[in-house]
């Protein structure tokens, strides 16, 4: 069952200050002077699901007032109308053209695959944990927020969506799990009401995640970033860590292996990319990826249920910090142009269910979109643009026209810049190699000879955008 387009009616709260003022002016508490509404017990309150069909005010719309309404019908605190925003971010999940892994995870399948919207053309700017996570929080590109490698310090922690939502909209802000694993000047806790990081343990992740939701006052909206270490690979093993209780789970059996069209590189053909297990000749075994996410799937189900009991509108996100390449054209793992595609889903109030879009999007667009969903503006310059209208079902939304991606390295065979448009993907390595392919597919044919003018034009655009971000 999907999250329908209906919006949730929010109960109005009486302000004690207004009540006292009315009583002072009238000299009595007669039946026509702001009589307090009866208090309902939890059992007496009407239950509201995420799929409720009643339509109420949205944060981006003014609340309508009925003609001739009494003073007791005055609008409630604007914070009561803002949706909860809950982001589930996994770690280093490979982008797949289908849903062969995620469809095995029952809560993710119900809430996001069947009940949400998939964005199949979301791209990371730098396919590395530190830079991509700061980009998620800021809506700024790595060259602008200053974290281009995992060891770089984040110098502007007050310019983040969590800080803005807390200050401008009264949000309770929660961060559980991996978060930002770089030095933060001024302190990692800036902008967070509650924050905690702990090693891999899905049971603790679930228990604390639910408790934090239950502890949050229902009259205030919350922004929660639940970020896990799964299914990040264990160094030297090439496969994710799986908790003992999830190993061999039947839900993850018989998943078809994933194999890109070729492991060969363009300018230096080789039968197998380096740093990859030899058994991927037959395709990558995704069993451990599925098993690694089973505990997190259970946590997502429990956390979403806890949010439902708050009876508030909600925006849910399931994503990964960045993509992973499984040997496409000889490039494994991260920090390469074939790791830019990321899994991204949204669900919740007003977001259509079972819909997919291939509009070009960037990770710099996520923060402005979540801010728009909350009905606030980010008070600092961002590189992204909101696609909230697209998430609400406006499939005519154009998306973006260009996405810039890059990785800086002293080794010119590793460092690169790339640009993605709705039609093209162009890659320019620091050692002089160039590649031009049609966007949206696997890019088997290198069109740099057939389309020299297109390549030259995209090269100029890439350098211009890169200079703008650096300055």
Summarize pLDDT for 304-359 with one digit per residue, the tens: 999 999 999 999 999 999 988 888 888 888 889 999 999 999 999 999 999 999 99
pLDDT at 13: 34
Q: Is pLDDT above 50 for 64?
A: no
Q: Give the three-state DSSP class for 348.
A: strand
- For 199-348, strand residue ranges (E) read 222-227, 314-320, 325-328, 331-333, 341-342, 344-348
Q: Is pLDDT above 50 for 46?
A: no
Yes or no: say if 379 and 164 are a contact pair by the CB < 8 Å rule: yes
Span 219-232, pLDDT tens digits: 999 999 999 989 98
Query: With a threshold of 0.85, does the pTM exceed it?
Result: no
Q: Which residue has the higher pLDDT, 412 or 387?
A: 387
Span 244-295, pLDDT tens digits: 999 999 999 999 999 888 887 766 655 566 667 767 778 889 999 999 999 9
pLDDT at 283: 87
pLDDT at 153: 86
pLDDT at 188: 72
Least confident of 149-158, 166-175, 352-361, 377-386: 149-158
pLDDT at 69: 31
In degrees, rounded to 5, the angle at the alpha carbon of residue 162 between the alpha carbons of residues 157 and 164 is 85
pLDDT at 341: 93
Which residues, in sequence order, are CB contacts of 237 under 8 Å at separation 6+? Answer: none
How many other C-beta atoms are found inside a 10 Å radius of the C-beta of residue 361?
A: 25
- C-alpha dist (Å) from residue 342 to 79, 247, 323, 325, 449: 32, 26, 5, 10, 29
pLDDT at 61: 34
**Nearest alpha-carbon partner for 392 in 437, 357, 364, 360:** 357
Span 107-157, pLDDT tens digits: 999 999 999 999 999 999 999 999 999 999 999 999 999 999 988 888 888
Q: 464: cis peptide before it, omega within 30°?
A: no
How far apart are alpha carbons 371 and 163 in whole angstroms?
Answer: 11
pLDDT at 330: 81
């Amino acid at each position: 069952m999907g999250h329908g387009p209906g919006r949730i009616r929010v109960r109005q709260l009486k302000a004690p200050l207004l009540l006292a003022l009315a009583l002072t002016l009238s000299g009595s508490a007669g039946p026509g002077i702001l009589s307090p509404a009866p208090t309902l017990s939890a059992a007496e309150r009407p239950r509201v699901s995420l799929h409720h069909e009643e339509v109420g005010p949205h944060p981006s719309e003014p609340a309508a007032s009925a003609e001739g309404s009494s003073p007791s019908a005055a609008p409630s605190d604007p914070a009561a109308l803002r949706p909860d925003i809950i982001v589930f971010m996994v770690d280093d999940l490979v982008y797949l053209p289908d849903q062969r892994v995620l469809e095995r995870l029952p809560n993710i399948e119900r809430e996001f695959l069947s009940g949400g919207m998939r964005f199949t053309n979301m791209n990371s700017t730098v396919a590395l944990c530190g830079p991509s996570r700061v980009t998620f929080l800021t809506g700024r590109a790595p060259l602008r927020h200053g974290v281009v490698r995992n060891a770089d310090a984040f110098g502007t922690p007050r310019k983040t969506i969590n800080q803005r939502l807390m200050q401008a909209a009264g949000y309770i802000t929660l961060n559980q799990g991996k978060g930002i694993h770089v030095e933060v000047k001024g302190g990692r806790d800036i902008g967070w009401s509650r924050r905690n990081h702990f090693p891999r343990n899905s049971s603790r992740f679930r228990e604390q995640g639910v408790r934090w939701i239950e502890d949050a006052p229902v009259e205030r909206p919350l922004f929660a970033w639940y970020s896990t270490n799964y299914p990040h690979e264990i160094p030297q093993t090439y496969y994710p860590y799986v908790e003992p209780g999830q190993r061999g789970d039947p839900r993850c059996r018989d998943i078809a292996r994933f194999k890109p069209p070729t492991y060969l590189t363009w300018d230096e053909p080789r039968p197998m990319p380096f740093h990859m297990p030899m058994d991927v000749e037959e395709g990558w075994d995704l069993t451990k990826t599925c098993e690694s996410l089973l505990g997190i799937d259970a946590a997502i189900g429990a956390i979403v249920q806890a949010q439902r009991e708050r009876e508030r509108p909600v925006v849910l996100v399931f994503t990964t910090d960045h993509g992973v390449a499984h040997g496409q054209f000889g490039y494994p793992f991260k920090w390469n142009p074939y790791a830019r595609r990321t899994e991204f889903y949204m669900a919740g109030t007003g977001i259509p269910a079972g819909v997919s879009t291939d509009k070009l999007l960037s990770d710099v667009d996520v923060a402005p979109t979540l801010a728009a969903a909350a009905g606030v503006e980010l008070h600092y310059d961002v590189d992204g643009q909101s696609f909230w209208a697209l998430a609400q079902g406006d499939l005519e939304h154009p998306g973006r026209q260009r996405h810039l991606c890059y990785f800086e390295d002293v080794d010119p065979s590793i460092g690169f810049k790339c640009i993605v448009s709705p039609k093209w993907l162009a890659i320019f390595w620091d050692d002089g190699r160039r590649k031009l392919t049609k966007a949206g597919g696997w890019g088997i044919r290198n069109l740099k000879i057939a389309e020299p003018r297109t390549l030259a034009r995209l090269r100029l655009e890439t350098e211009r955008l890169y200079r703008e971000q650096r300055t």
